[in-house]
Amino acid sequence: MEILAYGVQADEQPLLEKTFAGRHSLRTLAVFLNRDTAPLAAGYPVVSSSVNAVLDAGTLTLLAAGGTGLIAQRSTGFNNIDLDAAAELGLTVARVSYYSPYAVAEHAWTLALAVNRRLTRAASRSREFDFRLDGLLGRDIHGMTVGVIGTGKIGECFARIAAGFGTELLGWDIAQNPACLELGMTYAELPDLLARADLVSLHVPLVPATHHLIDSAALARMKDDAILVNSSRGGLVDSAALVETVRDGRLSGVGLDVYEEETGVFFTDRSIQGISDDVLARLVTFPQVLVTSHQAYFTRTAVGQIIDATARNIDDFAAGRTNENTLVPGNRS
């Protein structure tokens, strides 16, 4: 089948080409899929989208009109896709339901450790041959109380690393994970977790019930010197409230791999023209805040698994089959 893949990163392209060689005809584009770029897919029965695609009703209508039958998203999250519109248009939609949870959990800990030990500031100073320790005082992770919000596969991996550091584990989720209980985790109500934790890491999906889960009230409950890490979805955190919290001198560290208005900004080079998002611009100026560009998943292992799953989704579509990754079965008549 002929496939048009949008939002392909430079490091991702050779892995895609290797996987699809001799299997399907593949064309890759660096641009993201949205209403402006959807017409490029005319004549392609399959498009593959990245997590930053805007697959609203308008985009989906253009894809369907151009002959696309399958949207194969190369991510687990699908909150960027209007599934109801896809169903009405007869489109099949598939995602990647699983890839290495270690990739995201390890990156979350990378952010936590970096902001705790002021590594960004230290590295910047070293480049200028300033080797003072002023302002670089961190804390031992050992002995901290770590709050894990969302204890699924990624949250469990994060908790296992936390246990290795010798921390007290608190968890919050709609269901308790037996593996986390075996690690010694105590489940608590969210306000209690936020008030007690020295480090809070978010690992829940973005659904209406979790939108702005960390709002001004939640931030006010956290310790003044707590660390907040979000490697899940940007919409979990009220970013404007976070700016106000940090500006007021609260939270000793914030690590963000996601941002609620990241679409059109993350995965792009804005070093020349800058950005018009005042909230993001403020966040990156705070010395205790570290922002990375939605790269937690970006390991060779995880990306390889994502591409393999995407190829299988396309194989099954071509054969008239669905699988566990199918979100909308589409109209196959």
Residues 215 and 160 in one domain: yes
Query: Which of 12, 156, 260, 262 is the catalytic position?
Result: 262
How far from the centroid of its chain's Cα atoms is residue 133's Cα? 33
135 occurs within a structural domain: yes
Residues 124 and 244 in one domain: yes
Question: Which residues contact residue 274 at a Cβ distance below 8 angstroms, ignoring those fewer than 6 apart?
Answer: 281
25 occurs within a structural domain: yes
Question: Which residues contact residue 178 at a Cβ distance below 8 angstroms, ignoring those fewer than 6 apart?
Answer: none
333 occurs within a structural domain: no
- The answer to whether residue 180 scores a pLDDT higher than 60 is yes
- The answer to whether residue 316 scores a pLDDT higher than 50 is yes
Is 233 considered catalytic here?
A: yes
Instruction: Scan for tokens 């591409």, then name that residue.
Output: 307
Q: What is the mean pLDDT of residues 270-291?
A: 95
pLDDT in the model for residue 331: 78
48 occurs within a structural domain: yes
Q: What is the mean pLDDT of residues 124-147?
A: 97
Give the C-alpha separation, 34 to 269, whole Å. Answer: 18
Residues 261 and 133 in one domain: yes
pLDDT in the model for residue 333: 47
**Mean of the per-residue pLDDT values of the chain:** 96
Of 150-154, 188-192, 266-270, minimum mean pLDDT range: 266-270
Query: Which of 294, 321, 324, 332 is the catalytic position?
Result: 294
What would the pLDDT profile of 3-60 be if each residue is shown by its tens digit?
999 999 999 999 999 999 988 999 999 999 999 999 999 999 999 999 889 999 999 9
Nearest to 149 by CA among 230, 212, 235: 230
pLDDT in the model for residue 117: 98
Alpha helices in the chain (DSSP H): 13-20, 57-65, 83-89, 101-116, 119-127, 153-165, 178-182, 190-196, 216-221, 239-247, 278-285, 300-318
The domain total for the chain is 2
Query: Which of 107, 203, 233, 260 is the catalytic position?
Result: 233
Q: Kindly indicate the confidence band of residue 332, based on its pLDDT and cuts at 50, 70 and 90.
A: low
Residues 69 and 84 in one domain: yes
* Domain coverage including residue 13: 2-99+299-328
pLDDT in the model for residue 263: 86
- Contact call for residues 227 and 200 (beta carbons, < 8 A): yes
Residues 220 and 309 in one domain: no
Give the C-alpha separation, 193 to 266, whole Å. Answer: 31
Q: What is the CATH number of the domain that holds 214?
A: 3.40.50.720
105 occurs within a structural domain: yes
Is 262 considered catalytic here?
A: yes
Residues 146 and 236 in one domain: yes
Residues 198 and 128 in one domain: yes
Residues 203 and 185 in one domain: yes
